Amino acid sequence: MPISRANGLDIYYEKAGQGPPLMLIHALPFNHNLWQYQVASLSSRFTTYAVDLRGWGRSAKPHTPFTLGDMGADVMGVLKDEGVAGPVVLIGCSIGSKIALNLACEHAEKVSAAILIGGNSGRPDFSKRIADYRAQAKAGTLVDYHRAHLRHGVSTPWAETELGAFIIESFVDHYGKLDADSIAQVFGAMEGSDLTDARRTCRVPVLVVNGEFDSAFEGGAETAADTPGAQRAIIEGAGHCCFIEKPDVFDALTRRFLSKKGLWPKA
């Protein structure tokens, strides 16, 4: 089981394919499997790394406070442990997009491009979400709450299809691995980070992608408008995690963007 300990915590990840490095950073409340379609399609051109963020999946679940920068260091630690020296393409959704943007702003020499799904880079308020996770864990109803939160990440029509319901259920924690106190720290890290100023000086090529029904639609528009040279694309009929609802559309956008930047490898 691949584990990175470069940043002092156990960070689980999965590696596939060959070619230039491409890092996939998931949204909450999912795990690395959120990128199953992208791993299948992009690993024919890239070496893909899909990571479980701290607090989720098979990664460590710390209870002490940490920052978004610490979570970014986890991501870069995977690449360090893998011996990746060259610049990496980052694709992230929700908190993953914020981590990707933060890395692009702070370590432009290590990032060749960033694709931000959702793309909200301001300072959100997650106090209710944090309180709810802790209350549901105490009440023994965390599984149902987690399922409802997962549905929030996609459009309602897709969640009610047979495929959508099946995929969402595959992320539901039936084994008691969710840790509400650690999850609270993850939301706290996202809440405590504001990239409004940093995005205005970003030198890395950026594509912001929003689903038509994305809860972060307005935040994505602001990020794209404020980030120098950033492009923005809308996927119709999809929610926050538009790439799992319409993977072919998302993959086509990714290929077009990276090709224009000279970053799409030959077969």
Residue 81 has a pLDDT of 96
Give the Cα separation of 114 and 90 in Å (integer): 5
Cα torsion angle, 183, 186, 192, 193, sign = negative
Q: What are phi and psi of 230, to 5 degrees?
A: -65, 145
Look at the pTM and tell me if it is higher than 0.85.
Answer: yes
* Mean pLDDT over the full length of the chain: 96
C-alpha 24/C-alpha 42 separation (Å) is 11
Predicted pLDDT of residue 161? 98
Q: What is the pLDDT of residue 113?
A: 98
Distance of CA 80 to the CA centre of its chain: 19
First to last CA, the chain: 29
Are 154 and 122 a contacting pair, CB within 8 Å?
Answer: no
| pLDDT tens figures, 218-261 | 999 999 999 999 999 999 999 999 999 999 999 999 999 999 99
- The tens digit of pLDDT for each residue in 188-205 reads 999 999 999 999 999 999
3-state DSSP assignment of residue 105: helix
Helix/strand/coil (H, E, C) string of 115-184?
A: EEECCCCCCCCCHHHHHHHHHHHHHCCHHHHHHHHHHHCCCHHHHCCHHHHHHHHHHCCCCCCCCHHHHH
* Alpha carbon distance 55, 259 (integer Å): 34
- Neighbour-count burial for 102-138, b at 16+ CB within 10 Å, e otherwise: bbbbeeeebbbbbbbbbbbbeebebeebbebbeebbe
Q: Which CATH class is domain 3-124+187-260?
A: alpha beta
Domain limits of the chain? 3-124+187-260
**Helix ranges restricted to H, 162-241:** 162-171, 180-191, 217-226
- Amino acid identity of residue 143, one-letter, is V
DSSP state letter for 91: E
Tens-place pLDDT, residues 62-118: 999 999 999 999 999 999 999 998 899 999 999 999 999 999 999 999 999 999 999
Place of tokens 């409004």: 196
